[in-house]
């Protein structure tokens, strides 16, 4: 991807998981190393964002940087490092280390959508389950799922659009939301059911099962 770089977000402390899950192994390879390798296959330079006090000992990267107190702050740290390395970077991929099964096709699809004119592109899956709003243990509303999608990473951005969206130090659960709020054009491409996020130990077991070759 000439003119492109990637930021791997791996700065979480793993409070909900009970450990810094990005450093756990899946089929002998750490989750963060899988994310870095996937990004390195498509980007000229990869910046990995780590928790404070962590030392990078994985595959070669353009730079390891320390993340911030929030996901958005961590992405900003990685983005600043990437642009400092190459101010001419045109497209930036942002990928979460907790999604170890993202395939090459997803990276290619989001990058192609940005090259076609979008400010940002995200992989997403239509919501299949009924969605309800709750207050405590009480269900207060059932939402119309028509037009709803569940968003994944990797996400691709025009570098200028992502930097502008982050300039106000905003916070969001993903970077596309900041670009959207800033008035940018965000599109989606079909995601992959395999590309789920590791949020608890059962997810790690599920991912491991998907890597087991089927018997012939």
What is residue 80's predicted lDDT score, i.e. its pLDDT? 97
Identify whether 186 is part of a domain: yes
Confidence band for 12, pLDDT divided at 50, 70 and 90:
confident
- pTM confidence score: 0.94
What is residue 216's predicted lDDT score, i.e. its pLDDT? 58
168-208 residue pLDDT tens = 888 999 999 999 999 999 999 999 999 999 998 999 999 99
Residue with tokens 């992959």: 192
Number of domains the chain contains: 1
Residue with tokens 């077991």: 205
pLDDT at 47 over 80: yes
Identify whether 137 is part of a domain: yes
**19 closest CA partner among 111, 98, 81:** 98
Identify whether 15 is part of a domain: yes
What is residue 166's predicted lDDT score, i.e. its pLDDT? 95
What is residue 214's predicted lDDT score, i.e. its pLDDT? 59
120-144 residue pLDDT tens = 999 999 999 999 999 999 999 999 9
Contact 157, 175 (CB under 8 A): yes
Confidence band for 20, pLDDT divided at 50, 70 and 90:
confident
Residue 131 DSSP symbol: E
160-169 residue pLDDT tens = 999 999 998 8
What is residue 57's predicted lDDT score, i.e. its pLDDT? 95
Cis peptide before 154 (omega within 30 of 0): yes
Identify whether 24 is part of a domain: yes
- Domain span including residue 202: 4-211
Give the integer Cα–Cα distance in Å for 73 and 65: 12
CATH number at residue 199: 3.90.550.10
Residue with tokens 């450990």: 19
What is residue 212's predicted lDDT score, i.e. its pLDDT? 76
pLDDT at 14 over 70: no
91-119 residue pLDDT tens = 999 999 999 999 999 999 999 999 999 99
Identify whether 216 is part of a domain: no
CB atoms within 10 A of CB 101: 19
Mean pLDDT, range 53-81, rounded to an integer: 95
Q: Please, what sign has the CA dihedral across residues 163, 179, 203, 37?
A: negative
Residue 146 DSSP symbol: T
Mean pLDDT of the chain: 93
Identify whether 156 is part of a domain: yes
Give the integer Cα–Cα distance in Å for 89 and 2: 9
Read off the tokens for 42: 């498509």
Give the integer Cα–Cα distance in Å for 176 and 195: 18
Identify whether 56 is part of a domain: yes
Identify whether 110 is part of a domain: yes
């Amino acid at each position: 991807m000439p003119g492109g770089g990637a930021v791997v977000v791996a700065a979480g402390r793993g409070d909900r998981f009970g450990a810094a899950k990005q450093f756990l192994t899946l089929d002998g390879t750490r989750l963060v190393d899988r994310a870095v390798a996937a990004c390195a296959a498509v980007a000229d330079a990869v910046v990995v964002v780590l928790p404070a006090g962590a030392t990078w000992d994985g595959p070669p990267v353009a730079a390891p940087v320390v993340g911030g107190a929030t996901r958005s702050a961590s992405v900003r740290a990685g983005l600043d490092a990437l642009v400092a390395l190459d101010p001419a970077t045109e497209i930036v991929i942002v990928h979460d280390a907790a999604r170890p099964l993202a395939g090459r096709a997803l990276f290619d699809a989001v990058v192609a959508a940005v090259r076609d004119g979008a400010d940002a592109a995200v992989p997403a899956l239509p919501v299949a389950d009924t969605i309800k709003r709750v207050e405590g243990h009480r269900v207060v509303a059932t939402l119309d799922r028509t037009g709803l999608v569940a968003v994944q990473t990797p996400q691709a951005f025009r570098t200028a659009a992502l930097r502008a969206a982050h300039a106000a130090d905003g916070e969001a659960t993903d970077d596309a939301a900041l670009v959207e709020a800033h008035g940018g054009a965000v599109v989606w491409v079909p995601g992959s059911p395999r590309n789920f996020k590791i949020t608890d130990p059962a997810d790690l077991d599920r991912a491991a099962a998907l890597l087991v070759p089927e018997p012939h």
